[in-house]
Chain A
Amino acid sequence: MTIHADHSAPETAVDDSAADVRTKFGISVEDYMLPARHQIQMVNPDGTLRSQDEQGTEPGHEYPTPGDAELMAAYEQLVVGRRVNDQNSALVRQGRMAVYPSSHGQEACQVAAAMCLSEGDWLFPTYRDAVAVMTRGVDPVEVMTIFRGDWHGGYDPTEHKVGIQCTPLTTQLLHAVGVAHAAKLRGENTVVMAMCGDGATSEGDFHEALNFAAVFHLPVIFFVQNNKYAISVPLSHQSVAPSLAHKAVGYGMAGERVDGNDLVALLAVMDRAVKLARDGSGPLLIEAHTYRMQAHTNADDATRYRPDSEVAEWQAKDPLARMKSYLTDKGLLDAAASERITSHAEAVATQLREGLGEDVPVQPLDLFKYVFAKQTPQLKEQSELLASELARAESANGTDNSGTESAK
């Protein structure tokens, strides 16, 4: 199924893609591309399931409820993610981590973004998406190394097919497009999840990435976590579009918006998006409505730009409490399961605390080691200069652990 717009020759274009969509969903191409009139929501904030009616299903926007096993596995990751977020914030307060942009409140998005993917797929995260990276299977200590300040990265992207956590906003979206394009050329059936925030949708690279993915008809899912703020700047300063999901249609792809604190709805929407993309729909854009419960990072003071009452409002929509009461009511989550999950989360937190608490020596000469695949004479010379400084310092201190100094 190929969906494209051909403005020059609408009558003569071989528009079988549009025909496909019309047959598949019984709707027009525009209606397929436009998000539903409301955000997709399956579980109420109090944990009760919304009826099919309340879900307000529209043709082309029907979503089956995910299976029990998937829900339970996702819930477990949700609990782990929350524990890790709060653990890391504590480590920052204790000075054991340099910085941590917490996704507290956004964990449902984090979990869904990673869990909807298969092993061969790729994930392109931002600085805020550490929990998604962990959920994908990357070792938690390796994920957090960047925030401890040892090195500008800590994990091998190829091991779990997770790009580096990216800070220059939306630059990673184009990398996601490139990975998908290469996969297509190599005949691999790879779906790529490309993540960014609401504020980031204003950057030029966001628009270039969407257009490239659409024009090359690539299986990329652009996943925007709309947490309402870009540091201090509210969404109204970024966009006056009806929704961020509406941006999809301008590029010729389908958009959808979903309650980002409703893990059930998120899984349903993401699972379908992955399936569509894998089946050849081209790219999709999903906007999740959520909220950044804490400050942008520990360096930020959120009371300067948003009222406490607003934070309290979102506290009542917490993704964790909602999922817990939904699964309990459904009879899936009993005391024993709950305890097992909590102790798993504790184990991860302990692993992190111990892993990050260690005074791991940094290697100053590593500065020169990874600049190029093939070392240059100039860097060799500079490396020798630093080595001789270190040697002098060591002999002055009477120690001898060549090239290694304890982290300051």
Chain B
Amino acid sequence: MTVTTSANGTTTANVSAATASAAASAAATAEATGPQSLTMAKALNTAMADAMRNDPSVLVFGEDVGMLGGVFRITDGLMAEFGEQRCFDTPLAESGIVGMAVGMAINGMRPAIEMQFDAFAYPAFEQIVSHVAKMHNRTKGKLKMPMVIRVPYAGGIGGVEHHCDSSESYYAHTAGLKVYTPATVADGYRMLREAIDSDDPVMFMEPKKLYWSKDQVDLGALRAEHDAGTSTEGRAAVARPGTDATLIAYGPSVPTALAAAAAAAEEGRSLEVIDVRTLVPFDDETVCASVRKTGRAVVIAEAHGFASVSSEIVARVQERAFHYLAAPILRVTGFDVPFPSPKLEHYYLPSVDRILDAVDDLQWED
């Protein structure tokens, strides 16, 4: 006997119906114009579909991304619309997925691949650090690495072990990788389109807890923006303007920072919230302009604080805006402990209260 199971030949009625309906709904979203309520998941899904329609060299592959549409359904309907040549499941091996993507990028393709979870990307670390990040450099630009590695990351979903990790600092620390992380539905679309267009390798960090967050977005307008070549790379956003202190956040921490700013406003304190958007390249200008204006800052990140993106932000801002500071820049980050179990998670993650405590500590009496 062979290992080919009967299941493969008999992917029958109910199964293909599910994918067909997913494709139909993807097409419906694609046609809609004007503002509509969309989840981050759908925005990412639409960005990939649009990119695949635009450019036949864009490929999507990974674990469970085909028929299932990904465990978070971010690739839902792509196999049905673009076929198994362009969206497919690989054998279960992350190093294999990234390594094969390197070869494909060498040979004219633009892979947009999925790591199933943050902590399951680690078998691919060698390929990412040793090749994805260095190929352009080693070949003096003769070989480009136009690939996107999508990573669902960070906490807030009550995930069991290895299903919640804040791995952005590993990638940001690696020279040669760009690191994007969207915090809004519209940015989900914008930034993923730009990442796929990019000739540089992009680690695309998707905050899991925001997949089902909703917003009113106008896909038609976003597509027009994309076609006009508008870029978010290296451009932080002012998510909420304020005057008294700056909260610097990214990805999953942006909504927490906004909630803290709203709470502070009730107590008469005006906090500006900066959404960093791309960790690499980093927007020194927007961030420092805000801190020069307010004179006080708190950096917020879910990841462990030690030797992290948050420590990098503090270092850069004090190097550039020292004389404007009324207080040391503080951080609210995950503790330096392994990402905790579901029941302990909320003690670990930055909370509104912890952020407000930090703001209170910014030497207001000085």
A300 to B209, CA, bound (A): 18
* Interface check B228, CB cutoff 8 A: no
Say yes or no: B3 contacts A38, CB within 8 Å.
Answer: no
Say yes or no: A203 contacts B306, CB within 8 Å.
Answer: no
A234 to B5, CA, bound (A): 8
Q: Which residues of A contact B91 (CB under 8 A)?
A: 202, 237-239
Within the complex, the shortest CB–CB distance from B25 to chain A, in Å, comes to 14
Q: Which residues of B contact A242 (CB under 8 A)?
A: 2-3
Q: Which residues of B contact A368 (CB under 8 A)?
A: 335, 337
Name the one of B64, B90, B96, B343 contacting A149, with C-beta atoms under 8 angstroms.
B343
Say yes or no: A168 contacts B3, CB within 8 Å.
Answer: no
* Interface check A167, CB cutoff 8 A: yes
* Interface check B8, CB cutoff 8 A: yes
Q: A204-B93, A304-B67, A367-B348 are in contact. Are A168 and B8 (CB under 8 A)?
A: no
Say yes or no: A367 contacts B346, CB within 8 Å.
Answer: no
Say yes or no: B161 contacts A386, CB within 8 Å.
Answer: no
Q: A147-B160, A379-B336 are in contact. Are A202 and B67 (CB under 8 A)?
A: no
B9-17, B214-222, B259-267: which lies at the A interface? Answer: B9-17
* Interface check B106, CB cutoff 8 A: no
* Interface check B103, CB cutoff 8 A: no
Total interface residues in chain A, CB < 8 Å: 61
Say yes or no: B71 contacts A231, CB within 8 Å.
Answer: yes
A202 to B120, CA, bound (A): 14
Q: Which residues of B contact A169 (CB under 8 A)?
A: 92, 120
* Interface check A309, CB cutoff 8 A: yes
Say yes or no: B342 contacts A236, CB within 8 Å.
Answer: no
Q: Which residues of A contact B71 (CB under 8 A)?
A: 231, 299-300
Q: A149-B342, A242-B3, A367-B347 are in contact. Are A378 and B68 (CB under 8 A)?
A: no
Q: Which residues of A contact B344 (CB under 8 A)?
A: 150-151, 362, 364, 366-367
* Interface check B281, CB cutoff 8 A: no
Say yes or no: B123 contacts A149, CB within 8 Å.
Answer: no
Within 8 A of A (CB), among B90-141: 90-93, 95-96, 119-120, 122-123
Say yes or no: A305 contacts B67, CB within 8 Å.
Answer: yes
Name the one of B10, B69, B89 contacting A310, with C-beta atoms under 8 angstroms.
B10
Within 8 A of B (CB), among A39-87: 39
Say yes or no: B160 contacts A149, CB within 8 Å.
Answer: yes
Q: Which residues of A contact B337 (CB under 8 A)?
A: 367-368, 371, 379, 382
Within the complex, the shortest CB–CB distance from B209 to chain A, in Å, comes to 15
Say yes or no: A231 contacts B63, CB within 8 Å.
Answer: yes
* Interface check B162, CB cutoff 8 A: yes
Within the complex, the shortest CB–CB distance from A151 to chain B, in Å, comes to 5
Within the complex, the shortest CB–CB distance from A234 to chain B, in Å, comes to 5
A364 to B340, CA, bound (A): 10
Say yes or no: B354 contacts A389, CB within 8 Å.
Answer: yes
Within the complex, the shortest CB–CB distance from A86 to chain B, in Å, comes to 20
Say yes or no: B1 contacts A307, CB within 8 Å.
Answer: no
Name the one of B18, B66, B160 contacting A98, with C-beta atoms under 8 angstroms.
B160
Q: A205-B123, A237-B91 are in contact. Are A382 and B335 (CB under 8 A)?
A: yes
Say yes or no: A236 contacts B3, CB within 8 Å.
Answer: yes
Q: Which residues of B contact A149 (CB under 8 A)?
A: 158, 160, 341-343
Say yes or no: B92 contacts A203, CB within 8 Å.
Answer: yes
Within 8 A of B (CB), among A197-256: 199-200, 202-205, 226, 228-244
Q: Which residues of A contact B6 (CB under 8 A)?
A: 310
* Chain B, residue nearest A246 (CB): B3
* Interface check B4, CB cutoff 8 A: yes
* Chain B, residue nearest A306 (CB): B7
Say yes or no: A204 contacts B123, CB within 8 Å.
Answer: yes
* Interface check B225, CB cutoff 8 A: no
Say yes or no: B14 contacts A199, CB within 8 Å.
Answer: no
* Chain B, residue nearest A171 (CB): B123
* Interface check B56, CB cutoff 8 A: no
Say yes or no: B3 contacts A307, CB within 8 Å.
Answer: no
Say yes or no: B3 contacts A362, CB within 8 Å.
Answer: no
* Interface check B338, CB cutoff 8 A: yes
> C-beta contact mask, B314-342 vs A, less than 8 Å → 1, else 0?
00000000000000000000011110111
Say yes or no: B92 contacts A230, CB within 8 Å.
Answer: yes
Say yes or no: B5 contacts A303, CB within 8 Å.
Answer: no
> C-beta contact mask, B230-259 vs A, less than 8 Å → 1, else 0?
000000000000000000000000000000
* Interface check B55, CB cutoff 8 A: no
Say yes or no: A232 contacts B64, CB within 8 Å.
Answer: yes
Say yes or no: B68 contacts A305, CB within 8 Å.
Answer: yes
Within the complex, the shortest CB–CB distance from B73 to chain A, in Å, comes to 10
Say yes or no: B343 contacts A241, CB within 8 Å.
Answer: no
A147 to B159, CA, bound (A): 10
Say yes or no: A237 contacts B335, CB within 8 Å.
Answer: no
A151 to B340, CA, bound (A): 7
Q: Which residues of B contact A237 (CB under 8 A)?
A: 89-91
Q: Which residues of B contact A176 (CB under 8 A)?
A: none
Q: Which residues of B contact A258 (CB under 8 A)?
A: none
Q: Which residues of B contact A226 (CB under 8 A)?
A: 3
Say yes or no: A243 contacts B1, CB within 8 Å.
Answer: yes
Say yes or no: B18 contacts A303, CB within 8 Å.
Answer: yes
Say yes or no: B92 contacts A364, CB within 8 Å.
Answer: no
Name the one of A204, A239, A378 contacting B336, with C-beta atoms under 8 angstroms.
A378
Say yes or no: A304 contacts B18, CB within 8 Å.
Answer: yes
Within 8 A of B (CB), among A341-368: 362, 364, 366-368
A367 to B120, CA, bound (A): 23
* Chain B, residue nearest A202 (CB): B91
Say yes or no: B343 contacts A362, CB within 8 Å.
Answer: yes
Q: A235-B3, A307-B12 are in contact. Are A168 and B120 (CB under 8 A)?
A: yes
List 18 additional A-B contacts (Cβ < 8 Å) besides A39-B1, A203-B93, A243-B3: A149-B158, A203-B92, A205-B123, A233-B64, A233-B89, A235-B3, A235-B5, A236-B3, A236-B8, A237-B90, A239-B91, A299-B71, A308-B14, A362-B344, A367-B348, A379-B337, A389-B354, A389-B357
Can you spell out 29 A-B residue pairs with CB atoms less than 8 angstroms apart? A39-B1, A146-B161, A149-B341, A152-B160, A152-B338, A167-B162, A169-B120, A199-B92, A203-B92, A205-B123, A230-B92, A231-B63, A232-B67, A233-B89, A235-B3, A235-B5, A243-B1, A243-B2, A299-B71, A300-B71, A303-B14, A303-B18, A304-B18, A310-B6, A364-B347, A366-B344, A367-B348, A378-B336, A389-B354
Among all A-B residue pairs, the 9 with the closest Cβ atoms: A149-B342, A232-B68, A202-B91, A152-B161, A199-B92, A202-B92, A364-B347, A307-B12, A236-B8
